[in-house]
A = this chain, B = another copy of it.
Amino acid sequence: MAAELTADQLTAQHRPTLDQALEAIRTRAYWSPHPEHPKAYGEHGSLDAGAGKAAFDALLGTRLDLGQPGTDDWVGGEVSPYGVELGVSYPHADVDVLLPAMRAGQPAWRDAGPELRALVCVEILKRISDRTHEFAHAVMHTSGQAFMMAFQAGGPHAQDRGLEAVAYAYAEQVRTPGTAEWTKPQGKRDPLALTKEFTPVPRGIALVIGCNTFPTWNGYPGLFASLATGNAVLVKPHPRAVLPLALTVQVARQVLTEAGFDPNLVALAAERPGEGIAKTLAVRPEIRIIDYTGSTAFGDWLETHARQAQVYTEKAGVNTVVVESTGDYKGMLSNLAFSLSLYSGQMCTTPQNLLIPRGGVATDQGHKSYDDVVADLARAVDGLLGDDARANALLGAIVNPDVKARLEAAAGLGEVALASREITNPEFPEAVVRTPVIVKLDGAKPDAEAAYMSECFGPVSFAVAVDSAADALELLRRTVREKGAMTVGAYTTDPDVERSVREVCLDEAAQLSLNLTGGVYVNQTAAFSDFHGSGGNPAANSALCDGAFVANRFRVVEVRREA
């Protein structure tokens, strides 16, 4: 078929963006082509706030027909954490039909080469970016994130992570040239001379298993890394967060078609309630790559059983902040209060354990006892969330009943320093909105250890009293080693303690934020600059994004002949 989107057009439009992304991952300076501000949209073909909302509303109650082969049923049933029934239905696939259809387009996609594949991916991201307002509502009403967070994390930040993966995938594939002339001297005899051709080839079909809380942010890196390296990609969304990924698949299929490729290179695998198709799909021989974000139990299951595939997992972890001393007590408290509150602590990067010496903490406002620090932090959270409108904008909604149950149970684990409050969301009265709970625990007590050494996903933090900075560091080391961590934070003005914290993080491969007191938070990472996870502790076996995340999604085949 004649491509509506030619390689020349794509090059002219997107090669500069790709080049900037390549430069950004090299320098790791700030960069993003995707505006963060809602008002930046509405021109150059992008939807503004009203149009985005209207587009989202128009989706409700409809059947999203992606034109996929092997569609044997229609499934759906998402209910927003804000109470809205989405009523969207999606194709249910007969995978024995869909998977072969997905393979059919792979040779042409492989033969397109790394640059054209990257440019097609950038076009997909551009179209998604233009619909950021629409996606924001889709993310909000599946994850329970408040609108602004759904807009930013589910929109530009997710698009950034996708583009970052495209850049890494492109760079990795072009490290080996397409062709080489090899001439080996043989003394007085004629040299040996070979012509060599090198082709990146895909592994097969990649499976993306999406999560409930960050469907796009956590889904895009694997999706785009696999697609840009020549693989077809099957997207299996979380049953409660289908819409954002279904829209993504729809855009990808449209762009692939326009660029002259088989749309079945990207497909959706929505499921019936309780069907559990991830387990079935994960061990299909056609599936050669899996990206997964979710529970440790299922991540471990995938790593153990999906042996035919490269498996990239982000699982549970226990994130720690060491509070040893600070030169900006107020800044520390407000920074921590924000970190604990954002999206009701439902981020894999939210701090859970705050390790505070029972002898207290030296600060610019004098010595603060353990009790002082905990009470002041509780007050800081209260202050931050005192206004219901602001609280709603920060907290979002509790994503599912399990989180609510954990939150309610947490109060029984120790002395409650800050009780969780219910907040009413006037726009969405059915939303379950809760402020975080802070529970005091004695680090030396074995029964407390059972609590603070397990991930308690949601708005629950433990203020763990430790004997000393050294004790805190030992507990930090043990926590990261045994439970994993996506993030570590530390507050200290003591160079020795800082060195020691850094040493623990280097030893245990944990990403460390030091003395954050301003507008950057330990639970946020920026694409092109920060690594999300390290891939070196039990919380995740890969990082977003580095060479290791992309290098094994393709292989290089050499064809050599005498010159």
Residues of A within 8 A of B (CB): 25-30, 107, 110, 172, 175-177, 180-186, 192, 194, 196, 198-199, 201, 203, 303-304, 307, 502-503, 505-507, 509-520, 526, 529-531, 534-536, 543, 546-548, 551-552, 555-562
Contacts of A26 in B (CB 8 A): 175, 177
The complex places the Cα of A515 from the Cα of B199 at a distance, in Å, of: 19
Task: Judge whether A547 and B557 touch: CB under 8 Å.
Answer: no
Query: Assuming A107-B507, A534-B555, A546-B551, is B512 touching A198 (CB within 8 A)?
Result: no
Task: Judge whether A182 and B546 touch: CB under 8 Å.
Answer: no
Task: Judge whether A506 and B176 touch: CB under 8 Å.
Answer: no
Task: Judge whether B562 and A516 touch: CB under 8 Å.
Answer: yes
Query: Assuming A28-B196, A529-B180, is B556 touching A543 (CB within 8 A)?
Result: yes
Task: Judge whether B557 and A512 touch: CB under 8 Å.
Answer: yes
Contacts of A201 in B (CB 8 A): 506-507, 509, 536
Task: Judge whether A175 and B547 touch: CB under 8 Å.
Answer: yes
Contacts of A194 in B (CB 8 A): 520
The complex places the Cα of A555 from the Cα of B529 at a distance, in Å, of: 15
Q: How far is the CB of A533 from chain B (nearest CB, A)?
A: 9
Contacts of A547 in B (CB 8 A): 172, 175, 547, 551
Task: Judge whether A183 and B506 touch: CB under 8 Å.
Answer: no
Task: Judge whether A28 and B518 touch: CB under 8 Å.
Answer: no
Contacts of A560 in B (CB 8 A): 512-514, 520, 530
The complex places the Cα of A304 from the Cα of B307 at a distance, in Å, of: 8
Task: Judge whether B27 and A558 touch: CB under 8 Å.
Answer: no
Task: Judge whether A555 and B543 touch: CB under 8 Å.
Answer: yes
Q: How far is the CB of A488 from chain B (nearest CB, A)?
A: 10
Q: Which B-chain residue is minimally distant from A288 (CB atoms)?
A: B536
Q: How far is the CB of A375 from chain B (nearest CB, A)?
A: 26
The complex places the Cα of A79 from the Cα of B105 at a distance, in Å, of: 55
Task: Judge whether B561 and A510 touch: CB under 8 Å.
Answer: no
Task: Judge whether B184 and A27 touch: CB under 8 Å.
Answer: no
Task: Judge whether B546 and A556 touch: CB under 8 Å.
Answer: yes
Out of B29, B192, B551, B558, which one reaches A180, CB within 8 Å? B29
Task: Judge whether B526 and A184 touch: CB under 8 Å.
Answer: yes
Q: How far is the CB of A336 from chain B (nearest CB, A)?
A: 14
Contacts of A196 in B (CB 8 A): 28, 529-530
Task: Judge whether A512 and B559 touch: CB under 8 Å.
Answer: yes
Contacts of A526 in B (CB 8 A): 182, 184
Q: How far is the CB of A152 from chain B (nearest CB, A)?
A: 13
The complex places the Cα of A558 from the Cα of B486 at a distance, in Å, of: 12
Contacts of A506 in B (CB 8 A): 107, 110, 199, 201, 557
Contacts of A175 in B (CB 8 A): 25-26, 546-547
The complex places the Cα of A29 from the Cα of B176 at a distance, in Å, of: 11
Q: How far is the CB of A166 from chain B (nearest CB, A)?
A: 16
Contacts of A181 in B (CB 8 A): 29
The 5 A-B pairs with the shortest beta carbon distances in the complex, nearest first, are: A536-B555, A548-B551, A28-B180, A514-B561, A547-B551
Contacts of A514 in B (CB 8 A): 559-561
Task: Judge whether A203 and B536 touch: CB under 8 Å.
Answer: yes
Q: Which B-chain residue is minimally distant from A179 (CB atoms)?
A: B28
Q: How far is the CB of A422 from chain B (nearest CB, A)?
A: 33
Task: Judge whether B548 and A28 touch: CB under 8 Å.
Answer: no
Contacts of A556 in B (CB 8 A): 531, 534, 543, 546
Contacts of A304 in B (CB 8 A): 307
Contacts of A515 in B (CB 8 A): 561-562
Q: How far is the CB of A45 from chain B (nearest CB, A)?
A: 24
Q: List 10 A-B contacts (CB under 8 A).
A: A25-B175, A29-B180, A107-B503, A175-B547, A176-B546, A192-B519, A196-B530, A510-B557, A516-B561, A548-B555
Q: How far is the CB of A207 from chain B (nearest CB, A)?
A: 18
Contacts of A27 in B (CB 8 A): 177, 180
Q: How far is the CB of A143 from chain B (nearest CB, A)?
A: 24
Out of B185, B505, B536, B562, which one reaches A517, CB within 8 Å? B562
Task: Judge whether A505 and B180 touch: CB under 8 Å.
Answer: no
Task: Judge whether A505 and B557 touch: CB under 8 Å.
Answer: yes
15 further A-B pairs in the complex, CB-CB below 8 A; given A107-B506, A201-B507: A172-B547, A203-B536, A506-B557, A509-B557, A512-B559, A512-B560, A513-B560, A514-B560, A516-B562, A534-B557, A535-B552, A543-B556, A546-B556, A547-B547, A551-B551
